[in-house]
Structure 1
Amino acid sequence: MQNTNQITKRFALPGILLLVGACTSSHADELSANAVAELNEATLTANEAAQVDHTLADSNTVTSEELERWSATDLEDIFRSSISVNAAGGRPQTQDIFIRGLQSTTANVTVDGAPQVGAIFYHAGTGGSIEPELLKSVKVSAGTGNALSGAGALGGAIAYETKDGFDLLEDGATVGALLKGTYYSSGDGGYKTSATGYGLINEDWSYIASLGYSDVGNYEDGDGNEVIDTEYQRTSAFFKVSGNLTEAQSLSVSYEYLEDQSIGAARMNIAPAVSADGTSYKERNTATVHYDINPANNDWVNVETNAYWTERSLQDATTETSITSIGFDLRNTSLFKEAAKVTYGVDYREDTYETDKTTAGDDAGDVLGLYAQGDWDVSEFVTLSAGGRFDRYTLDERGGVDVDNSGFSPNGTIIVRPTEGLEIHATYAEALRGAYPTQAYFDTVTQDPDMKAERSTNLELGFEYTIKNYYIAANIFQLEVDDVINPGYDRGTGLRTNVGDFETTGYEIMAGAQFGALNVELGVTESDPEMTYYDGSSDEEYSLVGTNTGRTWFGNLEYVFEELNLITGWYVSYVEAIDSDTARALREKSSYTVHDAYLRWTPKSLDALTVNLTLSNVFDKYYYDQATFAYTSGYAASGRELALSLSYKF
């Protein structure tokens, strides 16, 4: 393992190189603040001058505009340019998400505030079924965060937020519709269609209703070989009503349905030698109700309430398995003379893991949390944030074993701004996750009644600096998870208990600049995970906990042709080769460089029409994404693929 000094040295050299590269670029007129915002929102104006404002948090936030430019269809597309995230797995149904090398099962993943917890079956992918077409934004909080990240956020949080009618309506319009179709070229090809209607019920209330369908065939890898059993059909439906009950009260009610139908049994992330028989289905149903109270001229009351029900299921020819979660989050934010605020609340969630492989009943778990988080602008140079959570977990296993865990998780951050344009931050944060049900697919697991809670500790130091139209931002981090609970079970004893400790260290660096209509970004990221078991043995990859990938370099260029109403972009990533120890073998993971490009055009003579052209893996590279489960036993990445999308807004 690396110590902090080693991390700092590894971080310093690439950071200096990036800064020098940025500062020696040719100077250009500075952009105005409005122009920067407009460029980020994909409108086609960027002429005036001002200072760039960019953070690493921006590099982990995906907007709906970005999703549309890249014709996003799966998790790999969604997180293409997120600096802290890897998403891989081949076909969408087997894709996993890793935040700084940690599996998303260690994070708090939510859709409109509804947690998507646990794993149905690790072979089925755990990244979560999501339809990019419906997303307003995706926000990633990397590493153990503050008390507002939710219960059990050992490795961070991912928040998917869906659109509402207000997001799509043009100024002055009361009703609208969006029709969209996309063609995919790789292998057998395929298509995706969607129809969305939205509008105002009255001036205070909006609605949105959307239906989507995709039929995508087997894709080809970079060598031109058909990758069998990657075909799928997806059906989606979404409805949301939102608005104001009074001047001080708002309400939002939504329901989303998503079904993926694909070839093969539940062990779907292992690439077969011959096409499998049978069909498998992954399904998600999510319903949410948001109710907020925010009276005018009252700094003490800003209540946010979120209640939810969500069910995820996996079905093959012989088995049906599901995880159902129901719960709520109630919080209030109070302001103190505009210099400080405190958010405090309570959340509760109950999870039921069910499989028809047994008649012995269900596994169930719940968690009750109390939390508070305060932020205080001590001066114009210093901001402090501190808070904590107290969580109590209970596990009721179908075999009669009960486990209770509870504990307090503190956090603190200091932000210092010693000079204009420079911000330095340091964070210490803990998170606790108590005993929880094992993968829903397993029916013969015995829980250890003395199982201990997992506890993560995150240390992070970073800075962000902007000067004129240049910026650079960086983080170094060290995250430890003590007393990791086996995500599966010991196949020899059938017992599930704590197995050891996990640690990852690393860094993230991003630099960039804006020159008129041109936006340039460069970056590098690396994490070094290690799982150490109680018997002293160790490895760098452990299913449903973490994965090991090589140092990753990336660059992103975007250019706006204002006169043509056109924006185009080019993204390139280079992943260095790495040797990674696993519980079974030493994996040699090869390096690769992948290029992607897009072009988005709205004709001035017909501004209701948008044409989007995306070319993924431009040079048809054959490779396995290093974050792919089982690596070369999984699915090779897709070769060159053209996606042509047409959308028309009424």
Structure 2
Amino acid sequence: MNMSLTAIRFPRQVLVVSVSAALFSQPTLSETLTGGTPDQADVNTLVVVGQATSGLDNLIDQQELEKTQANSLSDIFRHDPAVNVGGAVSMGQKIYVRDIGEDLLNISVDGAEQAGAVFHHAGRINIEPELLKQVEIEAGAGSATAGPGALGGSVRFTTKDPEDLLKDGQNVGALLKAGYSSNGSGNKFSTTVYGRDSGGILSGMVSLVDSNFDNLEDGNGDEIPGSESDKSLGFVKLVANFDEAHRLSVSYEDLNERGDVLYKPELGNANNNVPEPTKGDRTTTIINYGWNPQDNELIDFSVNLYHTDNKQAREYTGTSYDGGVKSVGTTIENTSLLGNHKLIYGVNYRDDKSTLNDVDTSPYHFEETGEVWGVYVQDVVDVTDQLTVTGGVRFDDYHLEDVNGLEFDDDGVSPNLSANYALNDQWSVSAGYAEAFRGPEVKDAFKLSSASNDSSLKGEESHNTELGLNYDNDNFSLSAGVYKSVIENPIGGTVPWSKVAVNLEDDIKSKGVYLRAEYTMDRLQLGASLKKSKVEAGGETVTRYVYGSGAVSIGDTIQLDASYQFSNTFEAGWNMEYVRSIDDIKLQVGTDTLLTEKPSYTVHDIYARWLPTGNEDFSVSLAVNNLFDEQYLNHASVEDFEDNAGWAGIVGSPDPGRDIRLTLAYSF
């Protein structure tokens, strides 16, 4: 089974044991029309060999994003059971990979690590789906190439290149899109202009996106206060292919979001958590250079340089606050082929600064700085035609100077080892073990004026063990596996909440099983996925309310999907997600014993795509999310504790009800 991967400058073997390894491998409408995948720069077709803990678990491609007509972070991962994002307020949405949250993940955009949260009641990732070419997910501690601090895995967003949009023989072009969403009466418009010189050396693109949404409605038809959003994006990318060996790209992204958003976006509209004027801005500059001489197997060299500035400004009862996190970093990497070895090695460096302007205090300006550097090596060895072994190790060194003048230095070694054995041409088994380390990092900006660190604070560690089984023939594929992950010394505040960050006594322990089956026949594709997991700390079910951006508990999940290509110009599909309830959740907060549960829910989505002119120049896309108007609180949202006396307002916002989306796209 082959998958087209982008934004990996070095050729590497992708090692997969994912619940959804086959999810996005079905032929797309554009592939049927062209007889293959579109010609894209930096796209390598890589063999998936089904190996645990040491590589890519899932890929969400551009076609999948277009099917859902993604507008938010939750839309991007809507049909991936391994990744959960909940809530109707976009600023409150947080990523959880196998129930481990974004604070314990390595998340990047074109290699630029999105480190540090601005506000603990908001998500740290602000992304415009229209810009994306693909998203890669590595679940659980794994490969040494995943980057520093990948305790729960990594998520890599990759933006489009000019070459992805230019047609064969075309030197200048444009793509115009107009979309409408019924829920929130939303409008979205984008204009992208792209071109290259006649010699094919230089290419570039400029993209402008603007969207406007009123408050959304839940499945009961009630308005969700604070869910409105106005977004704008400006994106520029220049690419130079000097020859077959040298490639340079430079990009700049400016993403802005405005609206009357709930002051604590992850909670519902109660207990004085009212909509307030809020602004979020992310600017990112990225330089990527690659050198890959075709006649030298020892050199596949890349350099990534980036600067990210992530800011938020909000009001509370008329008083304005603003804070942000700036990160500057680089990754330098090379891949060498030595006999039956594929050796990947490199270094990472990142410098972070968290700042806050708090008018309620004197002095009002606060800042905290931290840095991390790491060195790593990963070796993929084809021992025999049947056996592939992967082993690697990384060393990371962290330094933090916190807002109160305390300094922290910590370092750790993170090894990994996994193996895949092909029983025959169709069946393979795999096993792997991996560790990851994350030292103390800068606090989120809005905590700088009130929070501190325990003087003995030390880094967090994770241990991940997986077993996997893969089957693949011409029409049917199956991926299944089990995993166990333990995060030791998790950093947080004790409950009831202390403003001093400490290493919590209880480890975060998660274990689960996953399964993905897919059947393809001619124009029909059928799929089924199962994810069953349990996350505990101190013998109790983990709640997002306590662990925030660190961990959450998601009920057993079943996803079913089907698509049919009626003709070369019309395709339609359906997806269903069922999430089982979690009962008898108990939380001890001081003298209060809080009880709650997470009710089950079932959500259906459908989509259709039509090419009226018979080619990709003009397309009409229709999607209906939450077809039957299910009223539900996503399990990736804050749990509902409101039935407990004195705990009004401790609940997340419900997910949106039915949303009919229509997008027209024209390229020339």
Same fold (TM over 0.5): yes
1:523 equivalent in structure 2: 529
Equivalent runs, 1:138-153 vs 2, <5 Å: 138-153=135-150
1:209 pairs with 2:206: yes
1:596 pairs with 2:605: yes
2:619 equivalent in structure 1: 610
Tell me the distance in 1 between the aligned counterparts of 2:433 and 2:48.
25
CA deviations over 1:333-374 (Å, ceiling 9, x no partner): 11013x211111111001100001254641111001011000
1:196 equivalent in structure 2: 192
In structure 2, do the counterparts of structure 1 residues 237 and 519 end up closer, same or farther at CA, with 3 Å as the change threshold? same
Q: Percent identity?
A: 34
Post-superposition offset of 1:590? 0.7
In structure 2, do the counterparts of structure 1 residues 249 and 447 end up closer, same or farther at CA, with 3 Å as the change threshold? same
1:634 equivalent in structure 2: 652
1:112 pairs with 2:110: yes
Contact 2:29 2:565 in 1 (8 A): no
1:373 pairs with 2:378: yes
CA deviations over 1:608-633 (Å, ceiling 9, x no partner): 21000000111111111111124472
1:85 equivalent in structure 2: 83
In structure 2, do the counterparts of structure 1 residues 336 and 522 end up closer, same or farther at CA, with 3 Å as the change threshold? same
Tell me the distance in 1 between the aligned counterparts of 2:275 and 2:222.
20
Tell me the distance in 2 between the aligned counterparts of 1:302 and 1:381.
26
1:573 pairs with 2:577: yes
2:253 equivalent in structure 1: 256
1:133 equivalent in structure 2: 130
Q: Secondary structure at the match of 2:85?
A: strand
CA deviations over 1:557-603 (Å, ceiling 9, x no partner): 0111225x111110001111112344552321111111000000011
Q: CA RMSD in A?
A: 2.4
1:12 equivalent in structure 2: none
Post-superposition offset of 1:266? 3.6
In structure 2, do the counterparts of structure 1 residues 567 and 582 end up closer, same or farther at CA, with 3 Å as the change threshold? farther
2:28 equivalent in structure 1: 39
CA deviations over 1:480-512 (Å, ceiling 9, x no partner): 0111111x5777764222113111000110111
The residue type equivalent to 2:32 in the other structure is T
The residue type equivalent to 1:602 in the other structure is L
In structure 2, do the counterparts of structure 1 residues 583 and 549 end up closer, same or farther at CA, with 3 Å as the change threshold? farther
2:489 equivalent in structure 1: 483
Post-superposition offset of 1:277? 5.3
Equivalent runs, 1:89-488 vs 2, <5 Å: 89-126=87-124, 128-186=125-183, 188-201=184-197, 202-264=199-261, 266-273=263-270, 276=274, 278-317=276-315, 318-337=320-339, 339-357=340-358, 359=364, 361-442=366-447, 443-486=449-492
Contact 1:531 1:540 in 2 (8 A): no
Q: Secondary structure at the match of 1:96?
A: coil
CA deviations over 1:262-288 (Å, ceiling 9, x no partner): 214542222214893531011111110
Tell me the distance in 2 between the aligned counterparts of 1:215 and 1:546.
31
The residue type equivalent to 1:164 in the other structure is D
Q: Secondary structure at the match of 1:441?
A: helix
Tell me the distance in 1 between the aligned counterparts of 2:136 and 2:421.
24
Tell me the distance in 2 between the aligned counterparts of 1:206 and 1:413.
40
**5+ unaligned residues in a row in structure 2: which ranges?**
1-18, 37-46, 642-650
Contact 1:228 1:275 in 2 (8 A): no
Tell me the distance in 2 between the aligned counterparts of 1:547 and 1:369.
29
Tell me the distance in 1 between the aligned counterparts of 2:216 and 2:49.
37
Q: How many residues are matched?
A: 606
In structure 2, do the counterparts of structure 1 residues 163 and 607 end up closer, same or farther at CA, with 3 Å as the change threshold? closer
Q: Secondary structure at the match of 1:122?
A: coil
Contact 2:227 2:262 in 1 (8 A): no
Q: Secondary structure at the match of 2:222?
A: coil
In structure 2, do the counterparts of structure 1 residues 368 and 508 end up closer, same or farther at CA, with 3 Å as the change threshold? same
Tell me the distance in 1 between the aligned counterparts of 2:148 and 2:56.
24
TM-score by length of 1: 0.89
Tell me the distance in 1 between the aligned counterparts of 2:406 and 2:273.
41
Post-superposition offset of 1:252? 0.5
TM-score by length of 2: 0.87
Contact 1:527 1:551 in 2 (8 A): yes
2:13 equivalent in structure 1: none
Which stretch of structure 1 is more off in the superposition, 148-157 or 295-304? 295-304
Tell me the distance in 2 between the aligned counterparts of 1:36 and 1:115.
27
Post-superposition offset of 1:290? 0.4
